[in-house]
Structure 1
Amino acid sequence: MSIFNIITILIILSAVFAFINARLLRLPFTIGLMVIAIVFTVIITVLGHFQPYVLDEAKVLIQSIDFETVLLDMMLSFLLFAGALHTKVDALSRQRGPIALFATIGIVISTFLIGTLMYYLFMAFSYPIDYIYCLLFGALISPTDPIAVLGILKDANAPKKLETKIVGESLFNDGVGVVVFIVLFKIAQAGIDSMTVGDITLLFVTEVVGGVALGLISGWVAFLCMRMINHYETEVLITLALVMGITGIALYLHVSAPLAVVVAGLFLGYKGPVIAWSENTHLYVEKFWELIDVLLNAVLFVFIGLELLIVSMNERYLMYGLLAIPITLVVRYLALSGPIALFKNKLDFIPKTALMMTWGGIRGGISIALALSLESGMQRELFLTITYVIVVFSIIGQGLTIGPLVKRVLKKYT
């Protein structure tokens, strides 16, 4: 099937599902699309028992799309840039201490705690898995997905102080989480004895520092170009070229593209409206990236729902997925509690911040994409199924209840 036909089918399905959600379900946009996509997938599966051709063609469509490459190397940069561009840097700066710890130390702690607990969970059921593969799972499931978080928090009416922490953490822990996953993946490929602590540290620092540096330099160049002209069509084109250029250069230099586009988006969103953009340019840049955000979010969450077609329905795998849900939630709470306690007296935290950040930390497409990138010898099918179970619960279960939870907690403490 050609790329054009694949894109056409996904866009048509996204439009149809969005219409059904807006007309009938009226769920939050991203959640509604994924729920309808899952229901659609179940219907296709049932029809496949009577007419195998239908199910076979649907599987061919899904399997013909390299979800890992499409999301991590293409869609992710656009979505992160759109999110960063609309994030208030002033509010983010005031919370930079806890956000930095959430997105770095928190991710590392979460990776090792989840990996260790999953390792012993498998041992308890007499299903031993190599520890390094359990750590890989810990790395891919630890980052909260900024794509999911941004969309859901808009509908939850969360307080700005809480939203800033969750969104800021999600924007950065995504990039750090991918870097941690890459480091562990290379260790798993090469063997733990073949890489020294120095090699691991160098790889991690290169990815992170290189990504931040690339984002700052690229954002500054784009800012200077936009400052010298007043032509909104060209300036919108510059932002598009910026994201695509950063992604290509980051892949070539082996630095973190997610961190680079987040830094560039934050820089341009902070400096552009004040110094470089006219009111007309600001309007068009903002609306263009809102449209990109909505379109790609629609396709992404429809695709997550359709991924059910290729996820193993092994009963043991599903059981491990259900058991992993409380593990990931408890570990996230523990990983957040340290930074929150450290900054509690310095910053104004709303009540039960750790609880609400734990429940508001939605897992999404990034975790599925990383699980799909595992090699077959790394227990790919097992961890893909577990990841899918957690992501579906996170987006639907947590996504639909984070708003009521926030309201209930705030009402209790006001």
Structure 2
Amino acid sequence: MSIFNIITILIILSAVFAFINARFLKLPFTIGLMIIAMVFTLGITILGHFNPYVLDEAKSLIQSIDFETVLLDMMLSFLLFAGSLHTKVDALKRQRGPIALFATVGIVISTFLIGTIMYYLFLAFSYPINYVYCLLFGALISPTDPIAVLGILKEANAPKKLETKIVGESLFNDGVGVVVFIVLFKIAQAGIGSMGVGAISLLFITEVAGGVVLGIVSGYIAYQSMRVINHYETEVMITLALVMGITGIALYLHVSAPLAVVVAGLFLGYKGPSIAWSENTHLYVEKFWELIDVLLNAILFVLIGLELLIITMNSQYILYGLLAIPITLVVRFVALSGPIALFRNKLDFIPKTSLMMTWGGIRGGISIALALSLEASMQRELFLTITYVIVVFSIIGQGLTIGPLVKRVIKKYT
């Protein structure tokens, strides 16, 4: 099937599911789309028992989509840029200490705790897995996705301090999480002991520092270009070229594209409105990236729902996934507790911040994409199934309850 036909089908399904959700279910946008996509997938599976051709064609369509490449190399940069462009830098500055620790130290702690616990869990079930593969799972499941929960937090009138921490952490921990995963992936390919501490550190620093520098330089060039003109059509095109250019250069230089686009988006979103953009340009840039954000998220969450068609329905794998849900939640709570305790008095955190950030840290498409990138020898099917179980629970279970939780905590302490 051609790329055009695949994109056409995905957009039509996204539009139909969005209509059903808006007209009947009225659930949060991305959560509603994913639930409808999963129900649609189950319907196809049931129909496939009577007409195998339908199921075979549906599986063929999903398998023809390289989810890893589509998300990590294409969609993620646009989604992160859109999110960072609309993030208030002043609010991030005030919370920069805990956000930096959440997105760096927190990710590393989470990776090693989850990996270690899962390693011993598999041993307890007499199903030994190479320790580095368990660490790979810890790295891919640790990043959180702010997309599904951001709208819910706004509807619940969540305090800006909480919203800033969750969104700020997610913007940066996606990039850091991918870098940690890449480092562990290369160690797994080469074999433990084949890479020294110096080589590992250099790889990590190159990915992170290179991404940050690329983001600053690219963002500055785009900012200066937009500052000397007043033509909103051209300026919107510059932002689009910025994201695509950064992604291509980052892939060529082997630096972190997610971190680069986040830094560029924050830089442009901070400098652009006050200096480089006219009021008209600001309006069109904002609306353009809002539309891109909504469209890509619709496609992403529909894809997550449709991925159910190709997930291995092994009862043992599903059991491991169910057991991994509380493990990932407890580990996230532990990883957040240190930075929160360190900055609690200085930044006047709202009550139950650890609890709300733990439950509000939703796992999403990036975890599935990273799981799909594993090699078969790295227990790909096992970790893909576990990841899918966690992501579905996270998006539906946590996504639909974080709003009431925030409202309850706010009401109790106000």
TM-score range, shorter chain: over 0.9
The answer to whether the 8 A contact 2:156-2:407 is kept is: no
Paired with 2:268 and 2:217, the residues of 1 have a C-alpha distance of 11
Paired with 2:129 and 2:382, the residues of 1 have a C-alpha distance of 10
Which residue of 1 is the match for residue 258 of structure 2? 258
Paired with 2:257 and 2:152, the residues of 1 have a C-alpha distance of 24
Paired with 2:236 and 2:264, the residues of 1 have a C-alpha distance of 15
Q: What is the CA-CA distance between 1:207 and the residue it aligns to?
A: 0.3
Equivalence map 1:8-47=2 (5 Å): 8-47=8-47
Which residue of 2 is the match for residue 270 of structure 1? 270
Paired with 2:247 and 2:152, the residues of 1 have a C-alpha distance of 26
Paired with 2:154 and 2:31, the residues of 1 have a C-alpha distance of 12
Is 1:88 aligned with 2:70? no
Is 1:51 aligned with 2:51? yes
Q: What is the CA-CA distance between 1:145 and the residue it aligns to?
A: 1.5
Which residue of 1 is the match for residue 403 of structure 2? 403
Which residue of 2 is the match for residue 99 of structure 1? 99
2:246 aligned partner, one-letter code: I
Deviations 1:267-296 (A, max 9, x none): 000000000000000000000000000000
The alignment partner of 1:193 has SS state of coil
The answer to whether the 8 A contact 1:80-1:147 is kept is: no
Which residue of 2 is the match for residue 194 of structure 1? 194
Which residue of 2 is the match for residue 122 of structure 1? 122
Which residue of 2 is the match for residue 139 of structure 1? 139
Which residue of 1 is the match for residue 64 of structure 2? 64
Q: What is the CA-CA distance between 1:410 and the residue it aligns to?
A: 1.3
Which residue of 2 is the match for residue 230 of structure 1? 230
- Structure 1 portions without partners, runs of 5+: none
2:272 aligned partner, one-letter code: G
Paired with 1:146 and 1:214, the residues of 2 have a C-alpha distance of 24
2:388 aligned partner, one-letter code: Y
Deviations 1:315-347 (A, max 9, x none): 000000000000000000000000000001100
2:219 aligned partner, one-letter code: G
Give the superposed CA RMSD. Answer: 0.7
The answer to whether the 8 A contact 1:148-1:363 is kept is: no
Paired with 1:96 and 1:239, the residues of 2 have a C-alpha distance of 25
Q: What is the CA-CA distance between 1:392 and the residue it aligns to?
A: 0.3
Which residue of 1 is the match for residue 4 of structure 2? 4
Q: What is the CA-CA distance between 1:98 and the residue it aligns to?
A: 0.1
Paired with 1:245 and 1:122, the residues of 2 have a C-alpha distance of 43
The answer to whether the 8 A contact 1:360-1:399 is kept is: yes
Deviations 1:46-79 (A, max 9, x none): 0000000000000000000000000000000000
Is 1:295 aligned with 2:295? yes
Q: What is the CA-CA distance between 1:147 and the residue it aligns to?
A: 3.2
* Change beyond 3 A, Cα 1:149–1:174: farther
Paired with 1:114 and 1:157, the residues of 2 have a C-alpha distance of 32
Paired with 2:80 and 2:156, the residues of 1 have a C-alpha distance of 20
Which residue of 2 is the match for residue 111 of structure 1? 111
Q: What is the CA-CA distance between 1:153 and the residue it aligns to?
A: 3.2
Q: What is the CA-CA distance between 1:149 and the residue it aligns to?
A: 3.8
The answer to whether the 8 A contact 1:85-1:268 is kept is: yes
Deviations 1:130-186 (A, max 9, x none): 100000000000010133343443444321110000000000000000000000000
After the TM superposition, list the runs of 4 or more consecutive aligned residues in structure 1 that deviate by more than 4 angstroms.
none
Paired with 1:205 and 1:149, the residues of 2 have a C-alpha distance of 31
The count of residues paired between Structure 1 and Structure 2 equals: 414
Paired with 1:259 and 1:207, the residues of 2 have a C-alpha distance of 9
Deviations 1:103-127 (A, max 9, x none): 0000000000000000011011111
* Change beyond 3 A, Cα 1:152–1:379: farther
What is the aligned-residue identity percentage?
Answer: 88
Paired with 2:154 and 2:310, the residues of 1 have a C-alpha distance of 31
1:359 aligned partner, one-letter code: W
Paired with 1:145 and 1:409, the residues of 2 have a C-alpha distance of 22
Is 1:336 aligned with 2:336? yes
Paired with 1:309 and 1:154, the residues of 2 have a C-alpha distance of 33
Paired with 1:207 and 1:184, the residues of 2 have a C-alpha distance of 13
Paired with 2:149 and 2:197, the residues of 1 have a C-alpha distance of 34
